[in-house]
Structure 1
Amino acid sequence: MVATDIGTVLVTGGAGFIGCALSQRLAARADRWVVLDNLHPQVHPNAERPAELHPAAELVHGDVTKAADWDSLLADVRPDILVHLAAETGTAQSLHEATRHAEVNVVGTTQMLDAFGRAGHTPRQFVLSSSRAVYGEGEWQREDGSTFAPGQRSHAQFERKEWDFAGARPLPSEGSRTRPAPTSVYGATKLAQENILSAWTSSHDVALTILRFQNVYGPGQSLINPYTGIVSLFSQMAMRGESIPVYEDGRITRDFVYIEDVAASLETVIGDLATGSTPFDVGSGVGTTILELAQHIADFHGAPAPHVTEQYRDGDVRHAECTIQRTTAELDWKPEWSVERGIAGLQQWIAERV
């Protein structure tokens, strides 16, 4: 059930893609809806308040990694609920900018917790936006029914074009069963966030809700940031009449979840102190290959057929999808948007902006 009394809410990174969509649902219902965001130029090229952020949201320009920014903020704001969205999110980028990802995602989280200690204030709930990246390759099943965690595909495998793990098939991940084993720096920092917040909230008797998002896309996502999603990138290529290039053999699998479904999942758990700390998987519950995604987008625009390049990215996960049965059973939430419907909704939004 969606909580009706949510009090004062502080959202880190709340001027970003997910934060803006969430503000449209809840900002007007909160006593105060305060957003802390550094308006990073990779997302906000003009460092301006985004039009998609609800007018009721109070925007504070600050950096989660800076203690002084936290102290200044908490001198004025006493949040009942903290929604932690602030993060560096580029999976590929994190391999080459590991320090920046660790500083924002890990140190930014510890700076936040230390600041609450200095302020002598404890929120009643933390909500963390985590990621499917914490699973890495997850679990695979052999032909005899046994399961194993294959770990990261090696550079040598990629060079041999051995895209899958021989004699096995991937299993959908699930927060109460699948052991996290990230294969990217980004995934490792998101898992660190989970562990840090779990330790801190348990010690302070604070509710913690963790949502592990799959590949989020939809209106509002950055059209200039090459690290935040292939759906917008593919869409812009198809709009220009280009053939979309698809890596490996085209059968990389992802679960693409529409932004409105993601915002709805957050809306459901904010203020619900009884969700427990076992992470919830938030996705469509349906795996889509990258070639299928590219074909849907190409068909929408009448663009040339996508082409398979056999290029690859070191550290990339082969299959990433989840089962959402537990999430839909325990939360008052279920996804409403199919990939086909979501792609159509995104195309119209992009067309108005390019």
Structure 2
Amino acid sequence: MTDLSRQRVIVTGGAGFIGCALAERLAAKAEKWVVVDSLHPQVHQVQERPAALVEAAELIVGDVTDPAVWETVLAEIEPTVVIHLAAETGTAQSLNEATRHAHVNVVGTTVMLDALSARGIVPERFLLSSSRAVYGEGAWEKSSGEVYYPGQRSHAQFEAGQWDFPDAKPLASRAAVTVPAPTSVYGSTKLAQEHVLSAWVNARDTTLTTLRLQNVYGPGQSLSNPYTGIVSLFSQLAQRGESIPIYEDGLITRDFVYIDDVADAFVAALALPAEEASIVGDVGSGVGTTIMQLAEAIAAYHQAPAPHITGKYRDGDVRHAECTIDDTLRMLDWEPRWPVDRGVAGLQSWIAEQTAR
């Protein structure tokens, strides 16, 4: 798909963090770019069009789970491309608000597909924003060389301070190899999204590109959402001169990927010709960073007190989450350009601007 000027695009959840970054790059190039977003107050403090959403993007405020919203949307546009970003994303929150996450992430997807089916619309391309949460703890390798899937850590392990699985090391996730085994309701609903969309698309001979995102951060991320991500949270604590609290022993590992790199991956995915577009790819920096390393870098930037270990833990949290991006580098004309130190510095500057305002 090289000529976006002939494409009519619907972006669900497109007024959010990733949606605004993507619209900035592509909305003006498309024949039509329509954003469907509920402007949920957990993400949008003010229920009005975000300043970061470029004028070329038309905004329809509505919930993807509401069939009436889709009646309005599909009367406005017959999409050739659907970019599905709409989702409830709080990993820990999902354990206590399972219905909400399942309703938006799964039912929202099926309501959208039913609306397309009712009108006989088969878009040429679907692009799904999935998550590293589908892997759960992923695969680990024992000292004997055996690869196994340990599953979710138990309360007994947590209470004993046994943060890692014994006699084993974690393996970086890779879509072509790692078996999805989510340990949160959120991860389960994202995997369900993948399955539902795949079934619908395969039955209609169209294409689905799935990008499993690691921990996305950067300018534009909601600073009011308590589930928005630890990079923004840590940054705000350090900016106020507070010591950053660290769960477990500080050696939890994540792959932090900057928003610009994520948006560029979506652009590259949309550029794929149809015959190469049915892929599942991991989008991250390809480098694991411990939570302590991240916190120390942010604290040093603000000259804040050193981070402190609390020994606390979160149910459903995985110990190590990072990915191998070699396959994605081969499939897409893309590579990450923002190492964590540069990305963290860029975020601090943006947060300072927002605070000043």
Mapped pair 1:107 → 2:96: no
Cα shift readout 1:296-354 (whole Å, capped 9, x = no counterpart):
10111111111111100011000000000000011100000000000000001000112
Inter-CA distance 243–3: structure 2 relative to 1 (3 Å threshold): farther
Amino acid at match of 2:344: I
Secondary structure of the corresponding residue to residue 76 of structure 2: coil
Mapped pair 1:123 → 2:123: yes
CA apart distance, 1:2 = 5.8
Quote the Cα distance in structure 2 between the aligned partners of 1:332 and 1:348.
Answer: 29
Secondary structure of the corresponding residue to residue 74 of structure 1: helix
Other-structure match for 2:220: 220
The CA RMSD measured in Å over matched residues stands at 1.0
Q: Is the 8 A contact 2:105 2:190 kept in 1?
A: yes
CA apart distance, 1:3 = 5.3
CA apart distance, 1:275 = 3.2
Q: Is the 8 A contact 1:2 1:332 kept in 2?
A: no
Mapped pair 1:297 → 2:298: yes
Q: Which runs of 4+ in 1 moved over 6 A?
A: none
CA apart distance, 1:274 = 3.0
Cα shift readout 1:129-153 (whole Å, capped 9, x = no counterpart):
0000000000000111110000000
Other-structure match for 1:195: 195
Quote the Cα distance in structure 1 between the aligned partners of 2:202 and 2:6.
Answer: 21
Q: How does 1:74-113 map to 2 (within 5 A)?
A: 74-113=74-113
Determine what percentage of the aligned residue pairs are the same residue: 65
Quote the Cα distance in structure 2 between the aligned partners of 1:139 and 1:5.
Answer: 42
Q: How does 1:158-307 map to 2 (within 5 A)?
A: 158-272=158-272, 273-307=274-308
Quote the Cα distance in structure 1 between the aligned partners of 2:326 and 2:120.
Answer: 39
Cα shift readout 1:64-110 (whole Å, capped 9, x = no counterpart):
00011101110111111000000000000000000000000000000
CA apart distance, 1:287 = 0.1
CA apart distance, 1:271 = 4.8
Secondary structure of the corresponding residue to residue 276 of structure 2: coil
Other-structure match for 1:9: 9
Gapped runs of 5+ residues in structure 1?
none
Quote the Cα distance in structure 2 between the aligned partners of 1:231 and 1:346.
Answer: 9
Other-structure match for 2:325: 324
Quote the Cα distance in structure 1 between the aligned partners of 2:276 and 2:188.
Answer: 24
Other-structure match for 1:137: 137
TM-score normalised by length of structure 1: 0.98
Q: How does 1:42-53 map to 2 (within 5 A)?
A: 42-53=42-53
Inter-CA distance 217–132: structure 2 relative to 1 (3 Å threshold): same
Q: Is the 8 A contact 2:15 2:35 kept in 1?
A: yes
TM-score normalised by length of structure 2: 0.98
Q: Is the 8 A contact 2:4 2:31 kept in 1?
A: no
Q: Is the 8 A contact 1:71 1:119 kept in 2?
A: no
Quote the Cα distance in structure 1 between the aligned partners of 2:220 and 2:238.
Answer: 19
Q: Is the 8 A contact 1:124 1:207 kept in 2?
A: yes
Quote the Cα distance in structure 1 between the aligned partners of 2:38 and 2:219.
Answer: 21
Quote the Cα distance in structure 2 between the aligned partners of 1:307 and 1:2.
Answer: 50
Cα shift readout 1:159-218 (whole Å, capped 9, x = no counterpart):
111100000000000000000000000000000000000000000001100000000000
Quote the Cα distance in structure 1 between the aligned partners of 2:118 and 2:281.
Answer: 31
Inter-CA distance 2–338: structure 2 relative to 1 (3 Å threshold): farther
Q: Is the 8 A contact 1:176 1:278 kept in 2?
A: no
Quote the Cα distance in structure 1 between the aligned partners of 2:307 and 2:6.
Answer: 46
Amino acid at match of 1:120: G
Gapped runs of 5+ residues in structure 2?
none
CA apart distance, 1:278 = 3.6
Other-structure match for 2:313: 312
Other-structure match for 2:346: 345
Q: Is the 8 A contact 2:269 2:277 kept in 1?
A: no
CA apart distance, 1:4 = 4.5
CA apart distance, 1:277 = 3.3
Secondary structure of the corresponding residue to residue 221 of structure 1: coil
